[in-house]
Structure 1
Amino acid sequence: MFRSLEHLVIRHTYRLPAPVGPAGEGGGAARQLDAALMSVGFKLSADLLGHLSGLSEKTVAETAVRTLRTVRELVGDHVRHNVYFVDFPANVPDTYDFWTRCINEALADDASRASTLAQLSTGVVDLLTLPSYGTFQHSYEEMLAAHEELIAAAGDRLTVLHLGGAPQDEVTALYLALAGSVTPLGEDGLRDLGVLAEHCAGGPQPEAIPVRENRAVVNLARLRVGADLLLDTVTDVLRLACALSGGDATLVEPTRFRSPSRAVRRALLAGLDQVVAAAPAKLADVTAHREAFKRLGERLHPHEYPHWPHAAEVFAVARGEREAPSLDRRVEELLDADDVGAAAQLLTAAPGRLFRSLDRLLRLCRTQDERDAVVAAAERVAPKVSGRVLLSVREHFHNRAEEPAESRVFVNRMGRGWVTADTRPPVGAAQRERLIEVLDAQTRHRLPRPGHLLVDPDVLDVALPLSGKATAAGLGVLPRGSLSRVDGELLRFFVYWKQTSRTTDFDLSALLLDASYESLGWLSYTELTQVEGAHSGDVTDAPDGASEFIDLRLGAARGDFIVPQVNIFSGEGFEEVEESFFGFMLRDAEQRGRPFEARTVRMKSELRGPGRVALPLVFLRGPGGDWRAKWLHLHLRGRVAFNRVEENRVSVATLVRAVVEREQLTVRHLVGLMGAGTTTVWDGGTVPDGPVTYVGLERPEGLHPDSVVVTRENLRDLIPR
């Protein structure tokens, strides 16, 4: 059983649960595994290599197969990456020369000559009707033979796999970390949490599950194995019901409820009855989701269970047969009466809601006394507000200068972004500064005293992971708004997709912008060799999977921004295809190698989202000519079909500008509030002998076993409760 969960531990922690097996002479097999891992940019830590060396060769070999499969998938090396132009990035033709060649080849083909001539007579040729366009003209093996071996370079990525504890301990620790996360998890994190929750239902549980969506996933798993449900509000039951029906546990999108079994109906109604019996005031939560509760009641038949009368009250409120005025309604009534102070006082009963409403309340204030009353109410309840909300509000007010920005950027839970004009009146400087002081003081009070703090400077500009929804799953991925250095001469993007049932064409493109966010040109299937780069060629069908690449020499690139994007030209969406991911590689100029080389991959992220245009990140040129990446994880709605970079460049530039110019709250902010006894900036060399609190992108070898380690994988642990 643990072997089936081992890959989850590796993906989330870069730790290999200590393999168990007979002792033996496994040193040779362990070194072979280490060499195989290095070929794809991974390496065994000294402790892990030593542990494996003491096991039998058979145990090490079995471990090697599983581990290699997991890390290859992490980096995108589990599939074959072919390219349309066999010599890419060399010998990529001019776009129009290439199209002319395809037409000539179609005219030379008896099967396509007539239709091609007919198209030419109209003056327009559909490229997709040309036999040699969009499909590989060579095998994968022929492509490999056309490329020299990659030359190893000091800058190649090397991700260390560390030795974990006993398999059960590692699985339990991962479950507790995900279930107890103070920030929402992404799609992959929720899926993994469900698997772990079912396995760990009979074991230790987190002291609290702060995120309601996480609780719904845990309760779904517990319901399946017959364990007690973890419920606190009536909305917890509604979320669970949505999850049972395969719907949206966040309650943003409506769910079509299925008819549950009698056992499930009893479990849900008993849970509702228990919650309301313990706290009747929680009936007020029903009105916020009145229609959903009405539809759920039609499936649960509460009238058949008279011994749970409190559950029946829930649906009576939903039908309007019983009054349970919601807090929101009472607040709106006070605001309609222009009594902002009373509204703020009422909201102190829901501190998180008060903090999310501060900007609006301050804008509605007409007198200084009202503004003071709102800020005073916030000060009183600040200790009761979650750390995530404190930091979210802190970032909000940091970006609310007296002079409003020209535009506001909005990003929904699914990652779809849009920009609108900022028409809000400013918030007074005095109130803004006073609130920021309150927020920082409360955050400082909750942060642990780290003792000796060891900090990797590369982590300081990483945005705080206030929501897992702002980070895609993958390798080397950082939260939206993070900045990271880009070291290398050659920048290569890649996209891979495999369609499920319909012909699907993804188009990888790159838009170049100047300092004013004006377009300087682009690389795509319509511009194969523009802006000092090269495109690997258009692939238009992916029944067995397909890849596209873009190669750019950073030193020669024009402009100040490089915006890679993936456009869906036709077929299935990002959430419909069997698999799709994006990434980028960095190489030295003379490394050569195949189009895809796993050890040069710096980042690989899954492509999932509701739009038809994906914007994973943007590259920014600094004042000294150095480049950095800023992470976007955004989608544009786009068209149903025929999305192209040249047609969406204005909307992309507008969205990129709004994100780039917004200041994110970063790890630097929390490090500055920690009050460490000693702070050391780690230079990549030897680590201190004693225990430290280490904060960095990756865990260095040699840390004292009693050290507290926070890396990219568990960055959410920095967020105070």
Structure 2
Amino acid sequence: MKNLESLVISRRLRVPVEALEGSTPGWGEVAARQLDAALLSVGFTCSAELLDRLAKLPGEDVVDLGVRVLAAVRTLVGDHVQHNAYFIDFPANVPDTVEFWAGLMRKTMVGDTSADQVPTPTLDLLTLPGYGSYQHSYTDLLAAHAELIPLAGDRVTVLGLGGSLESEARELYFSLAGSETPLAAEDLVVLRGLALYCAGEPERIPVRENRAVVNEARLAAGRPLLVDTVTDVLRLACGASGGDVTLAESTRFRSFRRAERRALLAALDGVAGAARLGDVPRHREQWKRLGERLHPHEYPRFPRAAHVFEVARGTRRAAGLDSRVEAALGEGRAGDAVALLEKAPGALLRRLDHLLRIGHSASAVLDAAERAAGGASCRVLLSLREHLQNRLSPAAGRVFANRQGRAWAAADTRSPLEKEVLEQALTMLDEEITRRLPDPGELIVDPDVLGVALPLSGKAVAPGLGVLPRGSISAVEGELLRFFVHWRQAERRTDYDLSALMLNDSYGDAEHVSWTNHGNGFATYSGDLTQAARGASEFIDIRLADATRTIIIPQVDIYAGERFDEAAEAFFGYMSRETEQKGRPFEPRTVRMKSDLRGSGRVALPLVFLRDSDSDGEGDDEGERAGGWRVKWLHLYLKGHPGFNQVEGHRVTTSLLVRSIVERDYLGVRYLAGLLRAKSPSAGHTTYIGLEAPADLPPGSRIYTPGTLHELIPA
């Protein structure tokens, strides 16, 4: 698999080192120290174990490995590109917005003119000479800035010693394939490559999209398929055709080879019982198109497979569970609806809020939910737990987000649930979740990880450095906060704009910093770039001590050109540093978070910065303090306009969305840690949960960090 080593380094923060039998050690220790020094310049370092292992290798091998490791971590942190800035002295000497535009217009009006030029009745400010493109080289920018002064507070990420590349790849493969939560689109791509590279798979693959990706490799190798529903076969056919295994988008099916058609129809025939045909109408059109490629009439020995396509064409009737439940509810037969849903525990629990509001006996519904809890996945139980705990208090609004992170908000018009009913439901869920959690042994929890939200879905979260699930909260250190965006267009002129919306505690009194307003008393914009054939970077500098607003929302607007998922490259992140450090606009060792932009919306809302600790009720043990700042992850995208998006144009929508996320009580590590502590521990092993694994843990410890937190969610 291409770049497998780089993938392992960036995802696991471990360096695969092959055992070199018979090799002759040389100057490996010197080369290892040189590598460690180079890594420190971008905010990484080798663990003592890794340094010791590298020191025993030939120096030439260490150098070759070091080049690859350094390239991998530089890409991870965003230092693989040159981050120039429009104003060479940024954040110093940035002109006032009006002064800047007046200067450009003055140069245009008094500059050289020719007889061929014809005055136009209107003036397009964005086409003024000198606007929107770099006026100096990256070398000039470096010469204009003093070196960064290293401080103890700078980020230092430890790279651990890994095993062989094969073993590391297999571990990553098993972690992704066996995840209890849906994966991000990038992780599905990684899983697809690893499935072709690695032999075997986990005993249990609970997420249907993951199973489809693994089945692609099994289909290509002629191995038996892992399917138990008709939709599993449809997902596999979509994935094998290069389409969407989530079924969110239509797929243009390819022509399958005869052996592939036979395998797909055989799998379909094995699961297409009468009770399963009710799932077909949900994806009727895709089934009809797949039938045109599989030719089921040529395989009379698979009659039940043919029934699937008959249902899709409407020549055979099959009522799905959802339609029967809706019919019962529509006729006022709530008891019958509950009885039907008990056959699908997950579906019953997802509808629990609705069932408790339709007037049916609450005790009967809770009894059915308790019976269903034992047969539902733990992810469903945790999602329901988070949902119900937020029903205890009224919300500012409801946020809806699709698989791509596209979000919208609506007023909460649901009738309230009785507090006693909610408490009974929460107690039932806590007991079932606790029962499924593993014995933690000696439990060690880093206080800094308590505010991290459980990764109940990773679909909208692009992997990267320091990225946490939506709803996670962590402390912000440093006196200066600097956002950055970098993009490179693929085919056509593309203009992204980095902006920041700033609000007070009541989400009002708005002001902004962007290309239309270069700064205020505490924030400074680096200048607007309107094309990125070779890449472009924009920055916003925030002096936190001087901030007159308590809520700061960075965002990236697409003004013109390619979408985030169409650009050759697009990523966002933030840095924090102290005032005396100076340095270039982009300093990799001060980067705290960096991830790709790839949502389908035209406005990206990666995260929000909050001052004070009262906005969501978290405890003091997460590094919060009066007047301090925290960051809460959003991972949201607004639809926006086809072009010319500006921060001023969607202020109300952004404010409502962010408020709904900030005020929502997300289920986090704090909750699971409390349940784990309530279990009776046994001696013999240690469980550690933290942002990074310390070096002094006992051998055989179970370690959970943000990159592997999904493994903590039980089956």
- One fold, TM greater than 0.5? yes
Question: Using the alignment, how far apart are the partners of 1:451 and 1:396 within structure 2?
Answer: 30
Percent identical across equivalent pairs? 57
2:192–2:213 contact (8 Å) kept in structure 1: yes
In the alignment, the residues of structure 1 paired with residue 468 and residue 509 of structure 2 have an alpha-carbon distance, to the nearest angstrom, of: 26
- Structure 1 residue 389 and structure 2 residue 406: aligned? no
Change in CA separation of 1:114 and 1:663 when aligned onto 2, cut-off 3 Å = farther
Aligned to 1:110, what secondary structure does the other structure show? coil
Partner of 2:85: 83
Is 2:444 the partner of 1:454?
A: yes
| Structure-2 change in CA distance of 1:372 and 1:508 (3 Å) | same
- 2:342 aligns with 348
Relative distance call for 1:521 and 1:227 in structure 2 (3 A) is same
Quick check: 1:494–1:583 contact (8 Å CA) kept in 2?
yes
Name the CA shift for 1:261/1:82 in 2 (closer, same or farther; >3 Å).
same
- The equivalences for 1:611-690 within 5 A come to 611-623=601-613, 624-675=626-677
Q: Does 2:308 align with 1:314? A: yes
How big is the shift at 1:529?
A: 2.0
Cα 1:86–1:678, aligned 2, differ >3 Å: closer, same or farther? farther
The correspondence of residues 242-257 of structure 1 with structure 2, limited to 5 A, is 242-257=238-253
| Offset, 1:611 | 0.6
TM-score normalised by structure 1 residue count = 0.94
Question: Structure 2 vs 1, CA of residues 331 and 520 (structure 1 numbering), >3 Å: closer, same or farther?
Answer: closer
* Cα RMSD for the two superposed structures: 1.9
Change (3 A) 1:297 1:48: same
Residue pair 1:497, 1:547 contacting (<8 A) in 2 also:
yes
SS in 2 for 1:415: coil
What is the SS of the residue equivalent to 1:373? Answer: helix
* Superposition deviation, residue 585 in structure 1: 0.2
Deviation at 1:530, TM superposition (A): 1.7
CA offset at residue 263 of structure 1? 3.5
Correspondence for 1:702: 696
User: 1:404, CA displacement in angstroms?
Assistant: 4.1
How far residue 677 of structure 1 moved from its aligned partner, in angstroms, is 7.5
In 2, Cα distance between the equivalents of 1:396 and 1:20? 49
Asked whether the 8 Å contact 1:23–1:56 carries over to 2, the reply is yes
- 2:63 aligns with 61
Aligned to 1:400: 391
For structure 2, the residue ranges without an aligned partner over 5 or more in a row are 614-625
Instruction: Indicate conservation of the 8 Å contact 1:183/1:716, yes or no.
Output: yes
* Equivalent residue runs for 1:466-485 within 5 Å: 466-485=456-475
Q: Does 1:216 align with 2:215?
A: no
Distance 2:14 2:127 in 1: 50
Q: How big is the shift at 1:14?
A: 0.7
- State how far apart, in whole Å, the 1-side matches of 2:225 and 2:502 are: 52
1:539 is aligned to: 529
Partner-residue secondary structure (3-state), 1:675:
helix
Note the residue ranges of structure 1 that are not aligned, 5 or more in a row.
680-688
Instruction: Provide the secondary structure at the position in 2 that maps to 1:66.
Output: helix
- 2:391·2:417 contact (CA, 8 Å) conserved in 1? yes
Mean CA deviation greater in 35-44 or 261-270:
261-270
Aligned to 1:105: 107
Partners of 1:106 and 1:132 within 8 A in 2: no
Are 1:267 and 2:267 counterparts? no
* Structure 1 position 111, deviation (Å): 5.9
Cross-structure match for 1:563: 553
Tell me the distance in 1 between the aligned counterparts of 2:254 and 2:358. 44
Write the distance in 1 (CA, Å) between the matches of 2:29 and 2:545. 44
Shift of 1:290: 2.3
Match in the other structure for 2:616: none
Counterpart residue number, 1:18: 17
Distance 1:31 1:174, change over 3 A: same
Counterpart pick for 1:146 among 144, 147, 151: 144
Q: Which residue of 1 aligns with 2:157?
A: 159
Q: Does 1:234 find its partner at 2:233?
A: no
Q: Which moved more, 1:694-703 or 1:565-574?
A: 694-703
What is the SS of the residue equivalent to 1:384? coil
Cα pair distance change 1:107/1:225, threshold 3 Å: farther
Residue 709 of structure 1 aligns to a residue whose secondary structure is strand
Partner Cα distance (2:115, 2:17) in 1: 64
- Does 2:419 align with 1:429? yes
TM-score normalized with structure 2 length: 0.95
Give the structure 2 partner of residue 684 of structure 1.
Answer: none
Partner residue in 2 for 1:603: 593
Q: What does the per-residue CA deviation read over 1:467-487, in whole Å, with 9 as the maximum and x for residues that have no partner?
A: 011422110000001100001
Q: Distance in 1 between matches of 2:285 and 2:90?
A: 56
Q: Work out whether residues 453 and 677 of structure 1, in 8 Å CA contact, stay in contact via their aligned partners in 2.
A: no
Give the distance between the partners of 1:563 and 1:584, measured in 2 at CA.
12
Q: Which residue of 2 aligns with 1:258?
A: 254
Kindly state the Cα deviation for residue 400 of structure 1 after the two structures are TM-superposed: 1.0
- 2:6 is aligned with what amino acid? H
| Paired residue secondary structure (2:627) | coil
- Looking at structure 1, the residues matched to 388 and 51 of structure 2 have their Cα atoms a distance apart, in angstroms, of 49
Partner of 2:132: 134
Q: Note the C-alpha offset of 1:226.
A: 3.5
Q: Does 1:378 align with 2:377?
A: no
Matched residues in 2 for 1:385 and 1:484: separation?
Answer: 31
Partner of 1:337: 331
Select between 610-619 and 670-679 the one with higher mean Cα deviation. 670-679
Of residues 319-328 and 335-344 in structure 1, the stretch that sits farther from structure 2 once superposed is: 319-328
Question: 1:552 Cα shift?
Answer: 0.8
State the 1:57 CA deviation.
Answer: 1.0
**Count of paired positions:** 699
1:415 corresponds in structure 2 to 405
Q: Please say which of residues 102-111 and 186-195 is displaced more in the overlay.
A: 102-111
Counterparts of 1:235 and 1:452 in 2: how far apart (Å)? 42
Cα distance in 1 for partners of 2:301, 2:333 equals: 43
Secondary structure of the residue aligned to 1:494 is strand
